[in-house]
Structure 1
Amino acid sequence: MYLTSQYASPVGELTLCSQEDRLAGLWLKDQKYFGASIAGEMVPGESPVLAQAREWLDRYFAGKQPDPDELPLAPAGTPFRQTVWRLLLQIPSGQVMTYGQLAWRTAEALGRPSMSAQAVGSAAGHNPISIIIPCHRLLGADGSLTGYAGGLERKLWLLRHEGADL
């Protein structure tokens, strides 16, 4: 069973989800793939990790740069998606990377000669822990805002909030 709670943020209502003592999800309202990685029943409730995630979000939205490593994250996904999500966590707050750059890093991490930017984009789009695993820091090859499951207006807000040079 998964416990969920709500968080009122400047980008709209967020749903947080925990399983035992780990954060399994954080979705924006109406986000594409909302809850898709959860293999069980989600019920309203409270847990220490949900409180910890809300405190992390409080600091983030207050303009601080909390470290995602402070939270016990447990996003469910394939090994490929897990690799992409781990690499997303390496993009510092206020910085951006193109899907192509992330594809190159993913290929390197997997010991492959190359990787499709589209495959990496799909993995980023299925990220079940938005904001904390910062898929919003990805841009198109020409620096354009593309592909955010939570909506481009929210992506732009998050990047501006972090002080990214767009």
Structure 2
Amino acid sequence: MASTANYFLWKTIFDAELAAKIGKPTADRAVGMANSLSHRVMATNAVLTGYTGGIERKRWLLNHEGVAIYQ
């Protein structure tokens, strides 16, 4: 998704928020799947899912960057 490139510079975003920004508010699952290479897209309920590097690596990266996660 080329339109997501602007959101990943030191920012996390929920999949539903990103879906709404691209004009597809009901496509949150598709957005999450399409961005599985990015640890910065999170499920709307803040559950760590969908990162191809693994959940533990995603958790470590987010903690390392100072992102508050609730798990």
TM-score in terms of structure 1 length: 0.37
Structure 1 CA distance for aligned equivalents of residues 25 and 14 of structure 2: 15
1:82 CA displacement = 2.0
1:147 CA displacement = 0.8
Note the residue ranges of structure 1 that are not aligned, 5 or more in a row.
1-80, 108-112, 128-134
Q: Which is helix-richer, 1 or 2?
A: 2
TM-score in terms of structure 2 length: 0.77
Structure 2 CA distance for aligned equivalents of residues 156 and 148 of structure 1: 10
Matched, 1:155 2:71: no
1:158 CA displacement = 0.4
Alignment counterpart, residue 102 of structure 1, candidates 8, 14, 18:
18
Instruction: Tell me which stretches of 4 or more aligned residues in structure 1 moved more than 3 Å.
Output: none
Alignment counterpart, residue 143 of structure 1, candidates 30, 46, 60:
46
Matching residue's letter, 1:160 = N
The structure with more radius of gyration: 1
1:83 CA displacement = 2.3
Structure 1 CA distance for aligned equivalents of residues 15 and 2 of structure 2: 16
| Cα deviation code 1:37-67 (max 9, x no counterpart) | xxxxxxxxxxxxxxxxxxxxxxxxxxxxxxx
Structure 1 CA distance for aligned equivalents of residues 32 and 46 of structure 2: 14
Structure 2 CA distance for aligned equivalents of residues 164 and 114 of structure 1: 24
Matched, 1:83 2:6: no
Aligned residue number for residue 74 of structure 1: none
Alignment counterpart, residue 118 of structure 1, candidates 9, 23, 29:
29
Higher normalized contact order (CA 8 Å, seq sep 6+, divided by chain length): 2
Structure 1 CA distance for aligned equivalents of residues 34 and 15 of structure 2: 11
In the alignment, is the contact (CA less than 8 A) between 1:136 and 1:158 conserved in 2? yes
1:150 CA displacement = 0.9
Structure 2 CA distance for aligned equivalents of residues 96 and 83 of structure 1: 15
Q: Which is strand-richer, 1 or 2?
A: 1
Note the residue ranges of structure 2 that are not aligned, 5 or more in a row.
none
